[in-house]
Amino acid sequence: MILFPPAKINLGLHILNKRNDGFHELETAMIPIPFTDILEILPADKFEFILSGIPIPGDIDSNLCVKAYLLMKEKYNISPIYIHLKKIIPMGGGLGGGSADASYILTGINTLFNLNLSNQVLEELASQLGSDCPFFIQNTPQIAKGRGEILSKTPIDLTGYYLKIVNIGIHVGTKEAFAGAQFSKNSKTVSEIVTQPISTWKSELENDFEKTVFRIYPDLLEVKEKLYKEGAIYASMSGSGSTVFGIFEKEPNKSFNTEKETIELIIRL
């Protein structure tokens, strides 16, 4: 079984308050984009997890794919599987690649072993792995609230627009981004703003992480400003960073330098 876990972008992100459990109350719109990792899942005599592509630091046992398999094994006593993950989506970029990989392990196992689990059950399992993981079960545009696990559909449709994604190789840790988090002062909710014409997003649709992250990494602010100079209707950092994207009506050109760590993609949505 070959699967293609996609990245996502955040359209607006409001940090509302800090909860009693230590997490922050958020509201954001998320949409999947056609920029994917590659995941192979096969039945096996013993469990094996192979990585290729972008190196992933840390112990293998801490990888979300492994945690997803162990969770399903504990819940449903499944047989061993072989997993090969080719990592393409950059880490620490606010694109949710690790969360997508873990969620696709859940849905892949559900199919492979004919478990017939509903999306609701899969989302509950995914929420045990990470805040962004439930989003990738249905993999459609959604409003996320709570710490990201409370999902509802949104009619956002960017079909026909061009998305320019720029990652200049800076890794922004989630803890680092939250350390200086400032709570939203926007009188409108994200779900209200994203239903407005895209032309209004520039002045109204905010990612609250930008206040902190751009102060620490001014090069990221320069990327956003450059995207607007090139004609983006809307530009923003995704999630807690560090990927910055622009939405264009016409196909933009590649314009960022081709340093080894820089990723620049143009995608027709």
Number of H helices, E strands in the chain: 9, 12
Give ∠ CA 36-49-117 in degrees, rounded to 5: 70
| Angstrom distance (rounded) from CA 197 to CA 199 | 5
Three-state DSSP state, 142: strand
Whole-angstrom distance, CA of residue 43 vs CA of residue 107: 15
Q: Vertex 64, ends 63 and 67: CA angle to 5°?
A: 95
Q: From 13, 221, 261, select the one nearest 132 (Cα to Cα).
A: 13
- Give the SS3 label for residue 98: helix
Q: Can you read off the two tokens belonging to residue 251?
A: 């196909």
Q: Mapping DSSP to helix (H, G, I), strand (E, B) and coil, where does residue 100 land?
A: helix
Active site residues: 8, 132
